[in-house]
Structure 1
C-alpha cells in the first residue's frame, strides 16, 4: 500500500472498530476499506513495475559506497551521510533510494536550502534518469511546481516541506525524506529535524537520510538516537593553504579598505605566478566590498598583470545576466568576487584558486533591539574549510587566507545554527497551530535560547497572533494558513478587514521576494532614471504598488518575449517579476479558499498603510530633532536607507518593512505614518502612564495627563484623559476631596452654599487668630462625605444623578455643621479684639483678615474707597487692631537699636507694661506714644525714628487697599503716605465730584461765593471743608476732604483773587521794586531780575495779607483789598531793603568759595556751597515763613567769618562741621521720606542754621539759645 492509502485505511479501520463496539452495521465501511486496500496494492505494483532503473557514474566517490548505503537504507530508519562537496551525495542518493525499493509507496523527498539548487539538482537527476523534468523527477519551490502522478523523486526547498506539515502532518505523501546540506543548520532544517524526531516513531515506514559535509555529523547522529554515519570521500585534489595576514586587521567590525584590497591584489599577483590562467574565487563580506575591491583591482592590476582577465561579481542580488557570466565561463581568466553564496551549494566552475578574506555578513537577530542584523563577522573554521575546498575539484589548488593561522585556530569550530540567531515567531506559531506543544519542549538539535523564544512570543503577541496566556487566537490561526512570514500574513489579514486585500497581497508578495528592480554597477544612473517615475516621496510601499500596476498592464499588452525584453531594458529582473506575479496569484488562491473578499478595487492610502502597520508596529520611528536619525522601539536608532524614496525628506513618523544593521542600522522600504495609527493598531501593546490626576471644575470630573509609549517610543507626551476610566476608586477619592471637601463643585444643591457659608465662618476665625487650629482637618471632612456618597459616584454628573434620587431629608445628610468643621478644642475670636470694621477719618472701613505668611495679602486689610483716602490718618493706622497690638509692640521693641534693646528684655514683659501705659493715648500716633512711654519706662532717650515700622512683619501693619467707584482695586500697599502721595489728587477730585454743586464753581474773577463756611457735612454725614481754588487766571471753589488741604487751597485762592482785584498796583510795583543795582548784580549768578522781583512781590503780598485764612465772605475780602492797596508798597520797600543788604553778602561769599581755597579745602568748601544753595535760590522769598528774612544777613556773614578762619585752623573747622552734619542729614532725610514741612519742621531747620552760627561765628550771636539738647527737642516736635 502507498503511505497515503495506509493512513486512510488506519483511520477507517479505527472507525470500523468503533462501530463494531457499538454494535452498528459495518458491512459498507468494511467493503470500502477492502476496495481501497486492493486499489492501493495495484498502484504500488504498477509503480514498482514502472520504476526507472538508475545508472551511476563510477567516477563519483559515493558510488564506491553503493552497497554500504543500500544496506543502511534497508536496515535503518535514519542514516547520516557525510561527504565533501563533489562527492555526489545530492544527485546519487535519490537513485540509491530507488534501487533500495523506496519511492513506490510514496515520494522520495529531497530538500535543498536554496531554490536555485533545488531546480538545478532536479534537472540533473532527471537527465541522469533519462526523463523530462516533472515526470519521474519533480521539483517545487515557492509557488512553482512541476510534477506528475508518475513522479518518484521530488526536489524542493526545505521551506516547502515544512509548509506541507499544515496539510500533511504525517508526511503521508513520502516514504523517504533526504534532508540535504543539513550542516548549514538553517532554521527550516532544524525545525524539520525536530519535527521528524517526533514523527518517525509514528511513521516506522518512513526513511530519513541526512546529508552533511563532514561537519559535526555526530550531533545529527546523536539527535536520532545513534543513527549510523556513512562517510563518502569527496572528489578532489589537495589544497595548499597560505596564510597571508593583511597589514591592519584591527577593525574586526568592518574589515575592508585599502589594506584588504591591497592584500587581495598581492595574492592575485602571487597566484598568477603559479598559474596565469587559473580562475580565482575571492570571498568578501558584502556587495560594497565586492564593488570597491573590483575597482581597486582594475586600477592596481591594469596593464600586463590583468590582461585577458575578467573581474566578475557574485552575490544573491545579482541580475540573471550577470549570474550567467559566472556559471558559463569563456576563454578569459576570471577573478570572481563573491559573498558566501559560493561557499556550499553553488559550485562555480573552473576555480583553481581561492582568496579568503575571512569575513562574511551573518544574519543575526538581536533580542534586545528586535532587529535582524547583518553584521560582518569572522567566519568559523568550518566555513573557512568549505571555502578552501572550492579550489581543489579540478586540480591541486591554492587557498590564500588573508588572516593568520593563529587567528584561524581561535575561531569557533562551526557556524552557529540559524535557530540560535534568528526570530522564531513563524516557527512557534506553526507549532502552536499544529498542536506540537511548547517550543521549549520541542526536540531541536540545538534548542534556541530562552530569550529568543521569549522574543518570538512577544512578536506573536504584538501581531495579536497569541493572547496574554500564549494561546493561539483566531487571528493567529488565520495567520498560520498563509504561506508568508508572520508579519506579512498579519498585514494581509488586516488588509482584508479594511477592504484593501488586493493591494496587501501585492505588497506581501513583493516583500517576500528579492526586489525586482535591478541596479547594475555599470548603469546605476540609467537604472535610477528608469525607476524614478514609480517613486512616491511619502511611501516606498506605494512605489511598489505603482510598479506592480505598470508591470501588470504591460504584461497584458505585449507578448511574453517582448515583456522580457522590456523588463531588461527598464532594469527589471523579469524572473523576479514573474515570481512576484506567481506569488500574488497563489495568495489570491489562498484568499479564495479562505473565502476572503476579492473585490479587485484598490484601497485608499490610509487603509493600505494601516494594514501594513499592523505587521510593523515595532518597526516605527520618530525623527530625532538634532540629527538625521530616527528613534525606534526599545531605544534603538536607525537611518533611512539611501535607496528609499523618503531619503532626504525626513518625515516625523515612519514605519519600515525591515530594519537591518550593516555598517549602520538602516530602515528599508519605508512610509510616512501618523502616530494615532500606531495607537489604534497597537492598543494591546501600549503603555499608558497616567500622572497628575486632578479635579476639573469646568468639566465636573477628575482628569489626568496621559503619556503613551510603544516599546519606549513616545506616541503621546501629554494628553488629558478621564481618570475614572483608568482608576475609578482613586477618581472617587479625588472627587470627594476636591469637589465636596474643598467645595470645588458647581451645583445648585443647597448643601454646597450652606457648607461654604459655615466653612467661611470657621476659616475667618483662623485668619483672625492667625493659627491653623480651628478648622478640622480634611481627613475628617473626607470621612464625612465618604460615608454618605456611594462608591459609584466620581464625577459631577454621577453625583447630581444620585442627588436627584434623594428625598429632602436625605439631602440634609450632606449639611456640615460647626461641630463637624471645628476642632473640639477650638475657641472663639472676640469681636472687640478682631473687629470687622475700623472707624477712620469719620468713615467706617471694612477689615479683612488673611493668615498666610509670605503672601502679599497676609495680615489685616483695610479697604478705603478712593474718595476717603485723604481723610485716613497714618498715625491712627499704626494702632492696627487690639488682637494684634501686643504682638506689634513686642516686634517694635525687638527691632530697636541694640543699646536700647538691651534695657528692654524680656520684650513681652515690657510690651505688656507698654500696652497698659498706652491705654489713654489712643488719639496719638502709636509710634510717637510708644517712644514717649518707653522713654518714661526706661529713663532712656528714645526717638520715634528708632521705632521703624517698615521693618516689622507684614501682618503687623495694615494692608491698605484703595478701591475705585466699581470696587476695583486701584492700588494697595502698607505705606499709607505713599498711597496718598500717588493718589491724593485723584482722591480729592473724587471727593469733590461726589459732593453737591453748591461749592463747585469755576472761572470766577470776583467774590461771588457769598459766605463760605469753614466746615460742612456731606449728605453721607462725612465732614468736608469748603475753600477757594487758584485757577491761575481765575478762581474756583471746592469741598476738601481734609482741613489742612482746604486751608492751603483757600489761601492760594484768596491771594489769586486779590491779584485780580489790584492789577494796576501790581504793575506799578514791578517797575518800582526798590532793589538796587548791587543786589541785582549779586543775584544774577542765581537767576534773572524779573524772577527776583516777582518773588519779592509774592512775599510782600503774603506779609501784607496775613489774614488770608479768615477771609470767608465778600466784606472781609473787600477790606483785604483796601488794606493791601494802602500797605503793599511800604511792605515791598522794607523787604527790598533787606535784600539790598543780604544779596551783596551772598555775592561776596559765593565769589570767595570759587577761589584757590576750593583746591585746598574741598570738603569745607563743598559744605558751604551747599549751605549757600539752601539759603538763596529762585523762589526762596516765597518759601520763607514770616520773620525769617531779617536773619539772612547774619547767616551770610557767618559764612564769610568761617572762610576767614578756615585757613587758620582747618582741623577745628572739620570738627565743627562734623557736629553739624548729623543734624542736617536728619533734616534732609526727613524731607526725602516725605515728612510734612510744617512750622515744627521749619523751626528745626533754622535752629540747625543758628547752630552753625554758634559754632563758626559765635561773635555774631544767635536768635535764642542753641544746643544739641534743644535740637533734639525740636526734632522730636517734628514727629518724624
Structure 2
C-alpha cells in the first residue's frame, strides 16, 4: 500500500528520493514498478555456504517411523558432528521449524541422544523474553538453536556455522471464503531458503543441510507472496477511502490483490458500518480510519463510547492488539495455568484480561520496579508485554479523547461491554452445536482453546475475539452472549424470513413466525412478530378470512353479530346436505368484505378506527343479507328436498338436521308428539325427507347378496330409474316394496324385502324419531320406529298424553247407550284436534246392554272392537234368538258331560259360541255395515239363518270334542311324554284351542278343526318308526310358525304393527295348518294348496321385510 502511494507521489515530488532495501524481494519487479529504477547490489561480508540436500524420503534405517522429520534432524546433527571432526572445532547449529510443537518434540529427542557438550535452546515469538536472550549469551561447547522463521529475518543469531532447514514455515493467510486467519504450514520460497542458508555464512564458511530435494527447491516459488495477498484488505481500503486515493482497482500496487479479496474487504467495512451500500465512507468510517488499530477494534472503541464502556473496551482492545502477555512455558504449563486462573472470569475471556489489567495496575502502584518484574515472573506474565499493553492503551485512549470519544465514569455492565465487542466481531459469533464444538457464520465450525475460561462449561452462544486455523479452527478468546444482543447490533446484516402468517386471537392482529439469521447462522429460530408492516396484502387476506369469515374477531359491533346470526341460519341448511360451505360459502363472504373494506384494514385496531367513523354515515355498514351469500342453487329447491317441517298424517312436524358422523343424532330427526307416535308407519318415514330417498335406496340395495346386487349395477342408475319418475300414488307403499317391485319390472330380478338389511345402512340415512310431550320434553327417541312403538305402548307418559289429547279433542261421533243403530254413518277414520291433527278410528264398543262409539288410535283395535260391537247390536235387535241360542249351547255343554273339554266349559264359552254364530251369520269377519240402511238390510237378509248356523257349529264342536278326547288319552302314553312329537303336538293343540278361540277363528276354519285333529292322529301313528323324519318335517313347519308368532306378539305389543296385508297374514296362519296336513297326513288332502314356496310368496305379500 505504501509503495503504491509513493508511486503516485513521486511524479509530484521530483525532489523526493526513494530507496528500497531488502534481501528477499524481487528486485526486477520493483524496478519495473518504479519505471525502471536502478538496481544497486551491495554484497555483505559473507563466507561460502555449502548446500547439502537430504530429503526425508531418502533417510534409511529409520527408528522414528512416526516422525521422519525428527529422525532427519538427528541424522543431520550426526552428519554435522562428522564435519566438525574434519574442521577446526564445533560450531553452533540453527534448525528451522514451522511450529512450537515441532520445536518442543525435537528438543526432547535431541536431549535423549545425549550429544556431548551440547546446549539446546528454543526460539520462537511467544517465548519468554528471558529465554529468548539466552541465544546471545556466551557459552561453551555446541549450541543447537531450534527456531521458527523468526530467526530468518527478524533477528540475527551469532556464531552459527550450520543450518538445518526443514523447508517449512507457518505462514499467515487470510481466507476470503471462510473469513478466518489461517496459519497453514507451507514450503518456504526459494528466497526464504537462501535467507536461511545465509545465516551460517556470517562468521566462517558454513554448511546448510536442506531436508528436501534439490528438485523440490527448484520447483518452489522464487519469492514469498507479499503480505497484501495474504491479509484482509479492510484496513487498506479504509485508509484509501479516508485519504481519497481513488479506486482501489486503479491503485498502483506492486502486486495487485485479487478482486475477491478487495470485495471481501468492502464487505467487512460494510459489516462494521464504516461504509454504506454505495461504498462511501460513513462518519463512523472516518473515525475508524483515524484509529491506528484493526478496523474491527476501531469499531469496538466507537461502539463502547456510545454504550458508556470505553474504559473497559480500550483495555481489552489494547490487549488484543499485542501478543498475549501471559506466558505459558512448555515445561511449566500447569503451574502457569493455575496462576492465570486467578484472573479467569466464568463467562468472558475478555473480562479475564480486564481483571488481569486491574490487578497489574494495583501491583504497579504498590510495588517497586524490580518487585513488579518479580511479580510478573512469579505469575507467568511477560513484563515487557505488560508494559507494551499499557503503552498501547495509553496511546489509544489519547486518540479517543482527541476524537471526542468519551470515557465512562462508572463501571460498564456486562451486556454493554460485550455488545460493543459484538459490533466488531459479527463474523465471529458461534452457537454450540455438538459437545464442545461451535457452529459459526457461513457454516464454519470451531472450538475454544483449552486455556479459555469457558472451555470447561461452554455456553450456548459466544462471541470470539479472533478466529484462527491451524489443523482446525479455534477461538483465541471468547465470551458468553445472548442471541438477542446480536440482532440489536447487526440489523443491517441479518436476514429475516417469515413463515406461517396467521390471525392471533390473543393479539387480534396477523402474526407470523420470524427466523433471523446472520451469515447463515440462525440467531432467532421462531419468534412471533406482527406481520402488518411486512406484507399488508397477506395480512388483509388473513384478517378477512380468519378474523371476519372464521369469526375470530373479538368485537361487539352490530354488523359482526348480525352476520354471525345469518351464517348460523345458513349453516343449519348445510347440515341437511351433509356438506360444508354450500350456502355459507366462505369465498362469497370474503368477497363481501373485500369489496367493502379499505385496503389498509388489516387488524382489529384499524377496523375499529375506520368503522367508528363510517358507521355514523351508514348504520347498516358491513351487514350481510341473504342474497350476498346464496349461490345460484335455489333455497326453495333445498326446502323441498330437505324440509324444515314435514307433514305426517296432516301434521306439520319439525325436522332437525345434524352433520355429526358417529353421533346418535347424525342425520334427520323428526319431533313427533306422543299422541301421534302410534299412527306412524315405516312408509311415513321413508318419504318424509325426499332428499334422502335416492341415497337411502342406493345404500339399501348395497346390502343385497352379491349375486342379486350385480344384476342391478350401476346402482345409482337403477335407483334413478326406479324412483325418478315415481307416481306419487305409489308413495303409499314403503320404499322396500317399491324397490323390489321396480327390480322385477325394470331388470327382471326377483328380490324379497327380507333380503335387504335395513340395519346395515349408514345411521344418517335412518330417519330418527324424537317423541315429545306437550311441553316439548323428550320422552324417547330411536331410528327404529317399530322398536320405539313397542317401548312406548306401555309407557304411562304416552298413554296419559293420548288420553289428554282425546279428552281435549272430543268428536260428535262419540256416543254411548245405543241399543239400536243411531248413527247416520260410522266412518272408517276421522281427524280430530286443532293444533295436533290425529287420525282416529271410530269403534263400536260392546258395553253388554248397549254399545258406544269410541275413537281409537289403532285401526286394528278399532276393527276388533267394532266386530264385537256389531255383534252386540245385532243381538240387541234379535234379543229372543240370542237368548235361545245361549240356552241351547248351555244345554249342549251339559249333554257332552265328562267329554266336555276345559276350552268349551263355562258361561264365557257360551257367549263366545253365540258371538261366533252371529259373526258368521251377519258376515262380520270381512266387513261392517257403516250406514243405517246397510245395517238394516244385513239384519233383514241374515237373521233367519241363525239357528241353522248354530246347528252346524255345534256339529263341528261335537266332532272336535270326540277327537280331542282320544288325542288327550293318547298323548298321556309314556311313549309321547317328554318326546319331541308329544311336545310339538301339545303346542299345536294349545294354539288351535286357545282361550277365546271361538271369538277369533273364522267359521270357515273352525269347520276344519276335526280334520286337523285327525291329521295329528295320523302323525302320531307314523312317528313311532320315523322320529328323525318327523323332526325334520316339524322343523320345516316351525320356521313359519315361529315367524308368525313373532309378528303376532308385535301386533299385541304395538297398536299399529307393520303388516302390509292382514288378509294375507290370515291366509298364512291357516296355510301353516294345511301345510302340516300335507306333510303328516297327505291322505286327508288339504282345503287349499299348501307348500313351502306358497308360504314364501305369501310372506312377501304380507309383511315385506318384517319378521
Task: Name 2:98's counterpart in structure 1.
Answer: 285
Task: Name 2:751's counterpart in structure 1.
Answer: 942
- Quote the offset at 1:313 in angstroms: 1.9
Please give the alpha-carbon distance, in whole angstroms, between the structure 2 residues aligned to 1:382 and 1:1204.
Answer: 125
- Quote the offset at 1:560 in angstroms: 0.9
Please give the alpha-carbon distance, in whole angstroms, between the structure 2 residues aligned to 1:989 and 1:447.
Answer: 107
Please give the alpha-carbon distance, in whole angstroms, between the structure 1 residues aligned to 2:540 and 2:176.
Answer: 42
Instruction: Summarize the alignment of residues 708-727 of structure 1 with structure 2, pairs less than 5 Å apart.
Output: 708-727=516-535
| Structure (1 or 2) with the larger CA radius of gyration | 2
Please give the alpha-carbon distance, in whole angstroms, between the structure 1 residues aligned to 2:1091 and 2:14.
Answer: 138
Q: Are residues 1:706 and 2:514 paired?
A: yes
CA pair 946-712 structure 1, distance change in 2 beyond 3 A: farther
CA pair 772-596 structure 1, distance change in 2 beyond 3 A: closer
Match of 2:148 among 325, 330, 339: 339
Please give the alpha-carbon distance, in whole angstroms, between the structure 2 residues aligned to 1:478 and 1:202.
Answer: 28
Please give the alpha-carbon distance, in whole angstroms, between the structure 2 residues aligned to 1:442 and 1:310.
Answer: 51
SS across alignment from 1:688:
strand
Task: Name 1:71's counterpart in structure 2.
Answer: none
Please give the alpha-carbon distance, in whole angstroms, between the structure 1 residues aligned to 2:798 and 2:566.
Answer: 41
Contact 1:1240 1:1274 in 2 (8 A): no
Match of 2:23 among 213, 217, 222: 213
Please give the alpha-carbon distance, in whole angstroms, between the structure 2 residues aligned to 1:680 and 1:934.
Answer: 80
Which structure has more relative contact order (CA 8 Å, sep 6+)? It is 2
Contact 2:672 2:770 in 1 (8 A): no
Please give the alpha-carbon distance, in whole angstroms, between the structure 2 residues aligned to 1:962 and 1:534.
Answer: 88
Task: Name 2:8's counterpart in structure 1.
Answer: 198
CA pair 780-374 structure 1, distance change in 2 beyond 3 A: same
Task: Name 2:998's counterpart in structure 1.
Answer: none
CA pair 674-907 structure 1, distance change in 2 beyond 3 A: closer
Match of 1:665 among 450, 469, 473: 473
Please give the alpha-carbon distance, in whole angstroms, between the structure 2 residues aligned to 1:373 and 1:978.
Answer: 89
Contact 2:170 2:186 in 1 (8 A): yes
SS across alignment from 2:412:
coil
Q: Are residues 1:232 and 2:232 paired?
A: no
CA pair 1198-606 structure 1, distance change in 2 beyond 3 A: farther
Q: Are residues 1:464 and 2:268 paired?
A: no
- Quote the offset at 1:323 in angstroms: 0.7
Please give the alpha-carbon distance, in whole angstroms, between the structure 2 residues aligned to 1:993 and 1:235.
Answer: 138
Q: Are residues 1:861 and 2:667 paired?
A: yes
Task: Name 1:617's counterpart in structure 2.
Answer: 426
- Quote the offset at 1:764 in angstroms: 6.3
TM-score, normalised by the number of residues in structure 2: 0.69
Contact 1:428 1:439 in 2 (8 A): yes
- Quote the offset at 1:272 in angstroms: 2.5
Instruction: Summarize the alignment of residues 35-50 of structure 1 with structure 2, pairs less than 5 Å apart.
Output: none
Residue-by-residue CA offset, 1:379-430 (whole Å, 9 max, x unaligned): 3333333223322323333333333333333333332222222211122122
Q: Are residues 1:506 and 2:319 paired?
A: no
Please give the alpha-carbon distance, in whole angstroms, between the structure 2 residues aligned to 1:234 and 1:1237.
Answer: 135
Q: Are residues 1:1279 and 2:1106 paired?
A: yes
Residue-by-residue CA offset, 1:1206-1245 (whole Å, 9 max, x unaligned): xxxxxxx9xx9xx99xx99x99xx9xxxxx99999999xx
- Quote the offset at 1:815 in angstroms: 4.0
Please give the alpha-carbon distance, in whole angstroms, between the structure 1 residues aligned to 2:104 and 2:972.
Answer: 115
SS across alignment from 2:532:
helix
**Structure 2: runs of 5 or more not aligned:** 805-831, 839-856, 859-967, 995-1012, 1047-1051, 1060-1064
Match of 1:396 among 183, 189, 205: 205
Please give the alpha-carbon distance, in whole angstroms, between the structure 2 residues aligned to 1:557 and 1:970.
Answer: 101
CA pair 980-272 structure 1, distance change in 2 beyond 3 A: farther
- Quote the offset at 1:443 in angstroms: 1.9
Task: Name 2:176's counterpart in structure 1.
Answer: 367
Contact 2:429 2:440 in 1 (8 A): yes
Please give the alpha-carbon distance, in whole angstroms, between the structure 2 residues aligned to 1:621 and 1:968.
Answer: 71
Instruction: Summarize the alignment of residues 144-159 of structure 1 with structure 2, pairs less than 5 Å apart.
Output: none
CA pair 772-647 structure 1, distance change in 2 beyond 3 A: closer
Contact 1:870 1:987 in 2 (8 A): no
Task: Name 2:129's counterpart in structure 1.
Answer: 320
Q: Are residues 1:261 and 2:70 paired?
A: yes
Residue-by-residue CA offset, 1:472-508 (whole Å, 9 max, x unaligned): 2222222222222111122222222222111111111
- Quote the offset at 1:806 in angstroms: 2.2
- Quote the offset at 1:716 in angstroms: 1.4
Q: Are residues 1:555 and 2:368 paired?
A: no
- Quote the offset at 1:719 in angstroms: 1.4
Contact 2:671 2:769 in 1 (8 A): no
SS across alignment from 2:502:
strand
Please give the alpha-carbon distance, in whole angstroms, between the structure 1 residues aligned to 2:223 and 2:777.
Answer: 89
Contact 2:46 2:202 in 1 (8 A): yes
CA pair 291-248 structure 1, distance change in 2 beyond 3 A: farther
- Quote the offset at 1:767 in angstroms: 6.3
Instruction: Summarize the alignment of residues 387-536 of structure 1 with structure 2, pairs less than 5 Å apart.
Output: 387-536=196-345
Contact 2:24 2:223 in 1 (8 A): no
CA pair 364-310 structure 1, distance change in 2 beyond 3 A: same
CA pair 919-554 structure 1, distance change in 2 beyond 3 A: same
SS across alignment from 1:534:
coil
Residue-by-residue CA offset, 1:711-730 (whole Å, 9 max, x unaligned): 11111111111111212344
Contact 1:876 1:924 in 2 (8 A): no
Please give the alpha-carbon distance, in whole angstroms, between the structure 2 residues aligned to 1:573 and 1:910.
Answer: 102
Q: Are residues 1:728 and 2:536 paired?
A: yes
CA RMSD of aligned residues (A): 6.0
- Quote the offset at 1:754 in angstroms: 4.0
Contact 1:840 1:873 in 2 (8 A): no
CA pair 819-1266 structure 1, distance change in 2 beyond 3 A: closer
Q: Are residues 1:377 and 2:204 paired?
A: no
CA pair 900-980 structure 1, distance change in 2 beyond 3 A: closer
Please give the alpha-carbon distance, in whole angstroms, between the structure 2 residues aligned to 1:568 and 1:311.
Answer: 22
Contact 2:672 2:769 in 1 (8 A): no
Task: Name 2:717's counterpart in structure 1.
Answer: 908
Contact 1:244 1:404 in 2 (8 A): yes
Contact 1:971 1:979 in 2 (8 A): no
Contact 2:653 2:670 in 1 (8 A): no
Task: Name 1:294's counterpart in structure 2.
Answer: 107
Contact 2:167 2:187 in 1 (8 A): yes
Residue-by-residue CA offset, 1:344-373 (whole Å, 9 max, x unaligned): 232222222222223222222222221111
Task: Name 2:851's counterpart in structure 1.
Answer: none
CA pair 587-986 structure 1, distance change in 2 beyond 3 A: farther
Match of 2:393 among 580, 584, 595: 584
